[in-house]
Structure 1
Amino acid sequence: MSRHVTSTDPDTPTDLPPPDVQLEQAIDIGTSLFDQVEAFTLGLMRTWNLYQIAIVIGLAVLAHVLRAVFGPRIRAWMAARHDWPKWRMRILVVIHQRLRAIFFVALIWAAIWIMREVTWNSRSYLLSVIGTLAFAWLSIVFLTRLIKSPFLRKVVRYGAWTYATLYVFGWVEDIATLLDSAGFQIGEIRFSLLLLVQALVIWGVTLTIARFLTSTTTSSIRRNDDISPSMQVLIIKGVQIAFFGAAFYIGVRSLGIDLTGLAVLSGAIGVGLGFGLQKVVSNLVSGVIILLDKSIKPGDVISLGETFGWINSLGARYVSVVTRDGREYLIPNEDLITGQVVNWSHSNEFVRLDIYFGTSYADNPHDVRRIAIAAAQSVERVLTDRNTVCHIVGFGDSSVDYILRFWIRDPTGGLTNIRGNVFLALWDAFAENNISIPFPQREVKLLGQADGDTKEAGFAKAAD
């Protein structure tokens, strides 16, 4: 923990020894620790301690044999549990991975109990120390499995193993004093290696708790069908900010660092960021507005300029839109607020599509309309319970022009492909009913010449 300095003279603190005295104390503590380690090492050479070391080695070998015998059988038994929930299977997998350590802990404590019953407690002291360490280390392994981040899990695990080892040997206070002696002072707060270690431990614990609470809350929110997808994203973002902000605040305050002095600095930084990061702030605010007004949500099919696709996720700064060709566009939130966006599935899933075609003047328009409607409704994705219509929209130079309108309810399946399928159905239906699709035909006449002169000029040119 940080140590606050109190003194009558603010320039000369009186509760901390001078640097040379602190150095001397650190040397004394280091010498004492070295003497204890040396005495413990020499004590291992005694007869009964050697016996206990031999027992530990034998128990380790026996635990390895038990793991080799029962491990495959337990694994086969686990494979037959198909109907068990995932969380229970994960626990069994962790236990199976640590079978050797579990067997060793059980065997060594059984040996300790037997030796305490048949001989003096002092002759099982080394076994007790090793058994306590083995149990503590095994418990730490199981507890740290709750941490999802591999890096954070390793940091917490190795840190907890170190602390447990020092605690068992009674070296915690000496090591803490030694780490605290290596530091410096800024104002009324003293910074040291001990403060750094405590900061890492506290922040590791608070971040782990925040991550666990965030993931649990997020899973509960996503399983709630009464909350819309956009509100789910907004609530999840708020929960993440709240938990991780609280973890940071608790971690800093627990170290004795006063945050009130950062108020003026944070205000100045905020003004600077307001001018330098206008676009970033605009995108953040636009993201909140999008989540609040529910104009778009994950899964919606949108068109923005030349981009057509469905929304994959809503971020704090951008929206991820995935197109049919697999490209993922990161569109800034501000563009979705200020630009014109076509949301194909905003209020409902139904989408009407229009295609244009033309037929010959020799074909009966009533038959053409009837055949076109039947052809469109024969396509798989076209809805038959919605009104499919075909209307004449004009008399062109070479054809009678029509518009065919039909409905679908799955725009995420693509629009170009369904239009192509309807065109193919029209082609087959028109070919079957002898309805022709005309193409432009032009007749060229030369003005200023009679028909006979034109023919003679043509023959003369051919003869030449």
Structure 2
Amino acid sequence: MEKFDEITAAVWLSVQQLDFWWQLLALAFALLLASLTNRRLQLLVAAQNIRGTGLRHVAVRSIQRLLWPLTALAILVPVKIIFEMNDLPAQILAIAVPVLVALAVIRLVVYILRKAFSVSPLLKSSENLLAGIIWFGVLLHLAGWLPGVLAVLDSLATTVGETRISVLAVIKLVFMIALAFTLAIWLAEFISQRVQRSAHISPSMQVGFAKFSKFLLITIAFLVALNAVGINLSSLAVFGGALGVGLGFGLQRIASNFISGFILVFDRSIKPGDIITVGDKFGWVEQLNARYVVVRNREGVDTLIPNENLITSEVINWSYADRNVRIIVRVQISYEDDPEQAMALMLACAFSSPRVLKTPEPTVRLIEFADSGIELQLRVWIEDMEKGTGAVKSDINLAIWRTFKENNITIPYPQRDLHIKSGWPTAAVDTVKTPEQD
């Protein structure tokens, strides 16, 4: 607490001096003028980024974040020189110059780190907060107050068993874990992007390698962060035992889904883009995640299927080895019509849908002599099962209907023949009167 009292006394002594307020006024004037200039420059730079993409967009956005601190430096440095030439105190201005330099570097680094990850509202909103925290630490260091503040934070401590836990130790742990996780995730994203660009690695192996590298790097980052703050890794044995008990009692399904995800990836049975049916769920695979698979159906609804279900239950993969799928269109004709003529007409209607493939060729088969008519089947092939089969069948059925109408081929109704093998019952015959009996 003595350090804190000394810092408070020094600040109070500086505030009571007139030179302090002159420097503060000059600093405020420089910052206000920099803000007004920055507005005009921002409009000019933004006009250059209307159609900017890729590296150009990143460069322009980086310049926009550097404009204010650089403009403030361009105004503040001459003001500081004027103070020094007139033998006026310039301690605050001397502190403000490196603070602005540090702020420019911090804003640039934070923006580049944010661009390295997937954009999220939380990450975008925390950029200014993170920059402000780092900037405040730099300000304390330049003012010479950082050692005293650290001593105060270290004095706020408690003892748990044989371990002393202070506020400073907790802040260091959080900072080291955040830094290590940031570097690990950034490196994992970089590896994932490089792997996805490779044409020699299958999609499922790309997902598997990205998952494995991310899991490995995050684990290493966590262990390195704990070791950096002085936590003995052997103490994690108790945590490992508790984790084992947790897996045995309540986390079996989570662990099973996690391991099943790696199995699905490495055996390449399911990969992004595959068209699958699981139970009554039909759709194509959008994502392979650590715990579940995202399957999107024709209605645009995403179904999250646990990885364990894909391992333990029957899964129909319509595009496992070949994306071609056969569609069967069933039609019946009357026994009075010529089946060979009908088969030729059906074959001519096969390409009424543009999605029907020419290879393999469509075929027509006479399947059976059914109760109501002769059953024929037109068999065609498509390669885009994710678009469904309803449109293809509809186009072919309409074409067959028109063609059969033009050639007088009948599609029969269901028919039943009733045969009476004996006469009316005797009682019923006796009750019927003839004209002679009237």
Give TM-score scaled by structure 1 length. Answer: 0.84
Distance in 2 between the 1:272 and 1:65 partners?
59
Match of 1:103 in 2: 71
Hey, what's the Cα distance between the residues in 2 that align with 1:102 and 1:458? 116
Question: 1:32: how far off?
Answer: 0.8
Amino acid at match of 1:56: L
Asked if the contact 1:156/1:204 (under 8 Å) is kept, the reply is no
Match of 1:282 in 2: 256
State how far apart, in whole Å, the 2-side matches of 1:50 and 1:291 are: 66
Going from structure 1 to structure 2, the CA distance change for 1:425 and 1:132 (only over 3 Å counts) comes to: same
The alignment partner of 1:367 has SS state of: helix
**SS of match in other structure, 2:319:** coil
SS of the residue aligned with 1:78? coil
Partner of 1:162: 136
Q: Which amino acid aligns with 1:430?
A: F
Distance 2:154 2:111 in 1: 31
Distance 1:68 1:309 in 2: 51
Distance (Å, rounded) in 1 between the aligned partners of 2:432 and 2:113: 93
Structure 1 equivalent of residue 43 of structure 2:
72
- Residue 458 of structure 1 and its aligned partner are, at CA, apart by 10
Contact 1:301 1:345 in 2 (8 A): yes
Alignment of 1:414 with 2:414, yes or no, is no
Query: Residue 146 of structure 1 is aligned with which of 90, 104, 112?
Result: 112
Cα 1:155–1:185, aligned 2, differ >3 Å: closer, same or farther? farther
Unaligned residue ranges in structure 1 (runs of 5+): 1-25
- In the alignment, the residues of structure 2 paired with residue 345 and residue 455 of structure 1 have an alpha-carbon distance, to the nearest angstrom, of 69
CA contact (8 A) 2:65 2:104 kept: no
Structure 1 position 394, deviation (Å): 0.7
Shift in CA distance, 112/235, structure 1 to aligned 2, threshold 3 Å: same
| Separation in structure 2 between the aligned mates of residue 379 and residue 459 of structure 1, nearest angstrom | 65
Return the offset for 1:444. 3.5
**Aligned equivalents of 1:229 and 1:286: distance in 2?**
17
Deviation at 1:261, TM superposition (A): 2.4
- Contact residue 379 and residue 425 of structure 1 kept, 8 A: no
Counterpart residue number, 2:99: 133
Distance 2:48 2:124 in 1: 29
Task: Tell me the equivalent position of 2:331.
Answer: 357
Q: Is the 8 A contact 1:274 1:281 kept in 2?
A: no
- Give the superposition deviation at 1:264: 4.4
Task: Provide closer, same or farther for how the CA distance between residues 69 and 256 of structure 1 changes in structure 2, counting only shifts above 3 A.
Answer: closer
Select the residue among 51, 58, 61 that pairs with 2:32: 61
Higher relative contact order (CA 8 A, sep 6+): 1
Per-residue deviation, 1:151 = 6.2
Contact 1:383/1:406 (8 A) holds in 2? yes
Aligned counterpart for 1:440 among listed residues 408, 414, 422: 414
* Of 153, 160, 170, the match for 1:186: 160
| Aligned partner letter, 2:89 | R
Alpha-carbon contact 2:371-2:415 (below 8 Å) kept: no
What is the CA distance between 1:170 and its match in structure 2? 0.1
After superposing the two structures, state which structure 1 stretch, 264-273 or 325-334, moved more. 264-273
Matched residues, percent identical?
30
2:65–2:108 CA contact under 8 A, matched in 1? no
Matches within 5 A, 1:33-432: 33-43=7-17, 45-46=18-19, 49-79=20-50, 82=51, 85-97=53-65, 99-116=67-84, 118-120=85-87, 123-148=89-114, 149-150=123-124, 153-154=127-128, 156-432=130-406
Q: How many angstroms apart in 1 are the aligned matches of 2:131 and 2:43?
A: 28
Aligned equivalents of 1:359, 1:437: Cα separation in 2: 5
> How far apart are the structure 1 equivalents of 2:282 and 2:333?
31
Shift of 1:95: 2.5
1:60 to 1:457, Cα distance in 2 relative to 1, 3 A: farther
Letter in 2 for 1:219: Q
How many residues align structurally?
424
Shifted more, 397-406 versus 262-271: the winner is 262-271
TM-score (norm 2): 0.89
- Match of 1:5? none
| Letter in structure 1 aligned against 2:110 | T
